[in-house]
Chain A
Amino acid sequence: MEQGVQVLYNVAHEPPLGVWIAVYFYFTGLSAGSFILSTLAYGFGLKKYKPIGFIGVVLATVLLVLAPLNLIIDLGRPERFWHLFPYLNIKSPVTWGSFLLTIYPINCLIYGYFMHRGNDKWTKITGLIGIPLAISVHGYTGFILALSKARALWNTAVMPILFLVSAMVSGIALMILVVAIRRLFAPPEERAQYHEIMVDLGRILAAAILADLFLIFSDVLVLLTADTEAREAALLILTLDFSPIFLGVELLLGSLVPLTILALPDFNRRMGWISLAAVLVMIGIFAMRYIMVIGGQSLPLS
């Protein structure tokens, strides 16, 4: 019975969410990651990381101002974006986002302002307030996908946490690159300090990649054994259309290669290699966002 099935007529559906949305997810992830790193020094008092505190918050803010622009560009009717507020629907994760995306950058600005003014107490308070916000901002994007129900690749419980962990991964990688650049322009006596931060961040990155890999592993494993649509979704990234990007870019180039670099004793202290690992990770996470958004919609529903 399985044999000889041929669809003679059906209509094609454009995937509703485009690359803009993948970019949006990517930016919010980077923003959340950077913010959390920035609070290491101010929120949790790890003095060592003070140099990246301010860079972190600037990046977090800029990215989070850029991110919703992608959303608005993607709207059919961008001029109506304000409908999100008066007509809100509290059950919709997009509505949660409307508020998070408003409050979070404001908090970032205040946090940055106090940091700039050297007001440590308020920096700490706003920093700590910002952490759940940052987690929510990115976590809610995971819910956007998880709660859309229609797409088997999205509709899983690991989705929000996977999004958070991958946000951390990409955020750390971004921070490594920023520190590397900062180091180039720093006076020679400060360079060692930046070097130390980079090596540390490299270690955290390796840990985060491991966590990310574990989540991906459990996601795929469960997809493979859940129901038919889930299995199709797993096959989509394992053997079918999206496998070259998933296996080649997200896993190999974006996770395993950087992990190896960061695990090898000699390499994981060299600035060039750490930076290379960070670049690969950033590419890998973008691939992940792309596979999620575009791949997730590529399985026909009708």
Chain B
Amino acid sequence: MSVRWGMVVDLRRCIGCHACQVACKAEMRTPLGVYRNWVKVVQKGRYPNVSLSFLPALCNNCENPICVRNCPTQATFRREDGIVMQDPHRCIGCKYCIASCPYDVRYLDPLKRVVQKCTWCHHRVDVGLEPACVNACPTRALIFGDINDPESEISKVLAANAVQVLKPERDTLPHVFYIGADMVAMRTYGGAEERVEVDWVRWWLAKLGILRPRAQAGE
């Protein structure tokens, strides 16, 4: 069978160190303020029953990538081996792919003004090297390989463990598989207590200078 690359993020091994995040910057020279991958850190519980969870995020190199379907110039396209590529020479920077991707893993390069994202370090993979983030991870929480080869490490890990993908309901068929991800880290919307309800009448009266604005928490 032909090669189909995939990645496993084993959260039982992840220490939330951000090495994968910095390794990607170092490899791809992604500009300041935009990211091909990052490590979300979430705390839950009430003192003293509190715990943390981590969630490294990157392009899922989906089997059914909505970004590819929606790109009007074929600047982003899917390779035979599953890598969703990004052609910086073709891209016009319409950002429609960014708006479409359910995982927000694409960004407009602030210096080159074209869209970029993780392409699973295809330049490394193509010469037989693992992606830079996988290479850096100090605890081997990241596993990359051919999921069509039953003998590969990743196939064995996938076969032996319960895995999750992000937002399966979006039908993008992600190929970054998580082991042991926590629901509160995977979910993207704020919990009930993070919501700040707005009294729209007061809001407008304050905007129009009729009422004094109420002091807001935070900055």
Contact = CB atoms under 8 A, between A and B. Distances in A.
Judged by CB atoms under 8 Å, the answer to whether A and B touch is: yes
A301 interface: yes
B23 to A, nearest CB: 16
26 contacts: A3-B45, A8-B42, A9-B40, A13-B107, A14-B107, A16-B99, A75-B92, A76-B91, A76-B113, A80-B91, A84-B92, A89-B69, A92-B70, A92-B72, A94-B94, A144-B96, A148-B99, A149-B66, A149-B170, A150-B104, A151-B99, A227-B169, A229-B189, A243-B200, A247-B200, A301-B188
B104 A94 contact: no
B44 A1 contact: yes
Contacts of A301: 101-104, 188
Contacts of A44: none
Given A3-B193, A243-B198, A243-B200, 15 more contacts: A2-B192, A5-B42, A5-B191, A6-B44, A7-B42, A16-B106, A76-B92, A76-B108, A76-B109, A84-B92, A149-B66, A150-B104, A228-B189, A248-B203, A302-B40
Contacts of B190: 232
Nearest to B77: A89
A47 interface: no
Interface stretch (A51-59, A111-119, A234-242, A259-267): A234-242
Interface residues on A, range: 35 or more
Contacts of B96: 16-17, 92, 94, 144, 148
How many residues of B sit at the interface, in one of the four size bands? 35 or more
B92 A4 contact: no
Interface in A87-131: 87-89, 91-95, 97-98
Interface string A33-66: 0000000000000000000000000000000000
Interface in B188-208: 188-198, 200-201, 203-204, 207
Contacts of B74: 87-89
B198 A239 contact: yes
Interface string A127-154: 0000000000000000010011111000
A76 B115 contact: yes
B109 to A, nearest CB: 8
A244 B204 contact: yes
Given A17-B95, A87-B74, A301-B103, A4 B45 contact: yes
B73 A244 contact: no
Contacts of A2: 191-193
B114 interface: yes
A297 interface: yes
Nearest to A9: B41
A148 B100 contact: yes
Contacts of A225: none
B157 interface: no
B39 interface: yes
Contact of B188 (A80, A98, A302): A302
Contacts of B93: 75-77, 80
A11 interface: yes
Interface in A1-33: 1-11, 13-14, 16-17
A300 interface: yes
Contacts of A97: 72
Given A4-B50, A8-B42, A147 B194 contact: no
A228 to B, nearest CB: 7
A178 interface: no
Contacts of B72: 84, 87-89, 92, 94-95, 97-98
B52 interface: yes
B92 A80 contact: yes
B75 interface: yes
B132 interface: no
Nearest to A18: B95
A5 B100 contact: no
A299 interface: yes
